[in-house]
Amino acid sequence: MIYVVLPPRPPLAAANEGHLYLSPDKRVGVGSHSYVYNAEWELPRSSLVEERICIDCILEDLKAILREQDGENGETRDRKWDELSGKMVLKEVATPPFVTTTEGGSKEINSNVYVLREGQRSREVVYEGPYRVIHSRVKYQNLARAPYCIHLQKLKGSIHPLTTKVQVTAKLSMLRDDHLDREAENYQQFPKNFFEYWSGYNILPPIHDPTPVGPLVPQFYGYYVVKKEDSKQNTSTNRMLSPILLLEHCGNPINPKQLSIDDK
């Protein structure tokens, strides 16, 4: 059995340049110190979409590596690969049920048991024995760096622009005071878990029913101000330019009067 080790997936590239499209017609709210707009934010696609790796290229590279190490007909193959051999074994796999408990609301009932996933039993064929490890030389592909390989070029999903647009919320200062600056500082000081999306099975006492858990605040995409060197060139004009606070577009405001008991 051959185990192919792939290179680590590159992290998403930081965007060095982006374009924000604002329109007076897209204003959705007015606060005590700022205007709120729906906006489009255009960024390099590589800053939002992970790079791709081609399985066909990996298999071709694997065959080439084996020819280099073993020879065309196996004449230089290490003999240990002939002596070390594995086998396919039929095994029965049992998965126990996954349960959780929570304290009840009365003294008579100490706990409530919730079965999150039923137990399962299955039979499957697995390999037992040594593995021959091969490190692949194939790299992840990014259309911004170079064209895709001939295999990916045949896929419809490989036809795409190098940038992509997402909808965000932009806040602009009314009076160019310090309110928006302080709001941006708050977002930068919030702990990471304030922004985390996680939905699952949560029991939050004293509530006995499952409760979905989401982020406490909108996603924060940065605070943008006029460069100091630019402000020196045209002081009168730049006094009219507001900094921009970019946040996640969270949808429509919640009206508490319209919420059901469960939603509250």
Residue 192 lies in a domain: yes
pLDDT for res 99: 80
Rounded to the nearest 5°, which phi and psi values hold at 217? -135, 160
pLDDT for res 118: 86
Which conformational region is residue 251 in: left (phi greater than 0), alpha (psi within -120 to 50 degrees), or beta? left
Tell me the CA distances in angstroms from 180 to 27, 41, 102, 223, one per residue in order: 17, 20, 43, 9
Residue 251 lies in a domain: yes
pLDDT for res 1: 85
Domain count, the chain: 1
Contacts of 155 (CB under 8 A, 6+ apart): none
What 8-state DSSP symbol labels residue 147?
Answer: P
Nearest to 245 by CA among 219, 227, 263: 219
pLDDT in tens, the chain (264 residues): 899 999 999 999 888 899 999 999 999 888 888 999 999 999 999 999 999 999 999 999 999 999 999 999 888 988 888 777 788 999 998 888 888 776 554 444 555 677 778 888 899 898 888 889 999 999 999 999 999 999 999 999 899 999 999 999 999 998 878 899 999 999 999 999 889 887 666 777 777 777 777 888 999 999 999 877 655 555 555 566 889 999 998 877 778 888 887 777
Residue 249 lies in a domain: yes
pLDDT for res 107: 43
pLDDT for res 108: 47
Do the beta carbons of residue 169 and residue 246 sit within 8 Å? yes
Residue 236 lies in a domain: yes
Cα-Cα-Cα-Cα torsion 59, 63, 66, 67, nearest 10 degrees, comes to: -160
Query: Whole domain around residue 152: which residue ranges?
Result: 8-50+147-258
pLDDT for res 191: 93
Residue 73 lies in a domain: no
Residue 217 lies in a domain: yes
Cα radius of gyration rounded to whole Å, the chain? 28
Residue 140 lies in a domain: no
Residue 94 lies in a domain: no
